[in-house]
Amino acid sequence: MVRSTKNVVENSRGEDIVIEPSKIKEEFEKVERENYKFRTYLKNHADSDELDEQFLQLHNELFKVYDCSKCRNCCKEYSITFEENEIEQASKLIKITKKEFMDKYIDETINGYDIKGKPCCFLTESGACEIEKCKPEGCIEYPFTNKPERLFSLLNIVDFANVCPVVFEMLQRLKKIYGFKTRGRY
């Protein structure tokens, strides 16, 4: 996927249309209640297939030009779950045994193999991912807005808008598409 070198997308007039990552929580608080109302509206009025198409189109459009490596809010806010084969790949990449990897980085939970703590221990000070070449599928696929059945995961999507500037922008655009009454952009 081609990414730009900046972390704020501009429209044709040079205006920012994706919030600066450091401001996402503050901006989300301004529209949080509205976002949950919009979620309810979509649950009651949106066609599942059409909503999936809209999310996919927005996902492709926005992530084509957004440089996630300059944000990494998801790495700072979420704990990721590894599959067993992903643990083996990551341990080989950082040149330690699987047991050492498990002892140092993993908590075994009912969900599986969760990374210990937040932010992600593989996030470097420069914002790079130490295991980029073999990061877990959950990291690669986040925020899952290009996946089917978004209608049934709207609660997660609203929560993701508190972390991911692109998801925040997707919700703002969807409100316009659906003619959802808002109290102003931000």
Tell me the average pLDDT across 134-155.
95
What the block records as the tokens of 6 is 């900046």
pLDDT at position 111 is 82
What band does 7 get if pLDDT is binned at 50, 70 and 90? low
Interval 15-33: pLDDT, tens: 556 899 999 999 999 999 9
Percent of all residues in the chain with a pLDDT value above 90, rounded to a whole number: 78
**pLDDT exceeds 50 at position 1:** no
Q: Which helix (H) or strand (E) holds 172?
A: helix 165-177
DSSP string, 40-55: HHHHHH--HHHHHHHH
Tell me the average pLDDT across 126-133.
93
What band does 53 get if pLDDT is binned at 50, 70 and 90? very high
pLDDT at position 18 is 85
**pLDDT exceeds 70 at position 184:** no
Check if the beta carbon of residue 83 is closer than 8 Å to that of residue 113: yes
- In Å, the largest CA–CA distance within the chain is 55
29 or 3, higher pLDDT = 29
